[in-house]
Amino acid sequence: MSPVLNPTAAKRAATRDAYGEALAELGKQNPDVVVLDADLSGSTRTKVFADAFPERFFNLGVAESNMMGTAAGLASMGKVVFASSFAMFAAGKAWEPVRQSICVPHLDVKICATHAGLTVGEDGKSHQMLEDLALMRVLPGMTVLVPADAVEARQAVFAAAACRGPVYVRLSRAKTPIVLGDDYRFRIGKGTVLRPGNDVALVACGVEVGAALEAADLLASEGVEARVINMGTIKPIDGELLVAAARECGAVLTAEEHQAVGGLGSAVAEHLAQHCPVPLELVGVQDTFGESGDADELLAKYGLDAASIAERARRLLRRKN
């Protein structure tokens, strides 16, 4: 087993919790870090920073567009700004000022959006943001990060702070398995092979990384060796790693807690279509909205659990062969 993996994967934690803790630590290291929130600091976990550095924390109220404009103003004065809300509001409701005020002048604003995807659970379709990667990925100059677990989320916060220009970090509400070990090292623009294999490549991000690893176990019991890749950066995508996987495996499956179009799958398809076309399957939500329910049950219903990924991989292998 690769040394980057957690040997048990039994412990669970929400990436939003890791975000709050990392933000407070970053605040100690860098006095230019300021944090903005849209009246959800308890849920986004920016309250940890607010308690430690009240003079550098600003609650903008339920006014997400105004928050992004304020973030841009602070960044234009040399501050490193973290702006947080639920993904539905940070990416969806405030998209226009993110484009105009943050991306056009290429300012150092880090949009850390929690409560993304189906695993928001009982809040239902109104809050289950499944289109944010598409919205953020299309913006020129925007870096897009989707941590697989709390280990990667913590490192992604520090990487985002060091990255020049706007960054979007997608975080979860639900506690999910910690799949990465303490020796894992996150780098923007680089994916990581978590499991070797040459029959099929499973490329996943966010909570789907754990599901892809479980799917690889299911396939291994049938004699299929699946390569599992954690693609923690959606933009810029690790094209070199993707082409190597395509050439060596001959088939690629992507898995994401997002619409099947516009996110990780689309980014992978766009790159491989130009550089190494192979049979491809895109596992994601299929052109529908979510619904209220238990997080794990929703992943299974919408075809994002390990069993569903394994079945899609079997179908892909039939196409390959």
CA-based angle 209:293:119, to the nearest 5? 25
Q: What are phi and psi of 187, to 5 degrees?
A: -135, 130
User: What is the number of residues in the chain?
Assistant: 321
> Which two structure tokens, joined as six digits, stand for 289?
């909205």
For residue 279, give Cα distances in angstroms to 16, 51, 251, 267, 298. Answer: 35, 51, 5, 15, 27
Question: CA 264: distance to chain centroid?
Answer: 9
Q: With contact defined as beta carbons under 8 Å apart, do 151 and 4 qualify?
A: no
Mode of pairing for the β-strands spanning 167-170 and 143-145:
parallel
Closest CA to 21 of 57, 47, 56, 43: 47
**Does the N-terminal peptide bond of residue 3 adopt cis geometry, omega within 30 degrees of 0?**
no
> In the block, which residue shows the tokens 């094209």?
239
156: nearest Cα among 177, 186, 114: 186
Q: State CA 312 to chain mean position distance.
A: 22
Q: Is the dihedral of CA 308, 145, 180, 252 positive or negative?
A: positive
Q: Where are the beta strands (DSSP E) in the chain?
A: 12-13, 33-37, 57-59, 80-86, 109-114, 143-145, 167-170, 176-177, 192-195, 200-204, 226-230, 233-235, 252-259, 280-285
Among the listed residues 25, 64, 270, 297, the single catalytic one is: 64
Active site residue 64: yes
Give the catalytic positions in this structure.
64
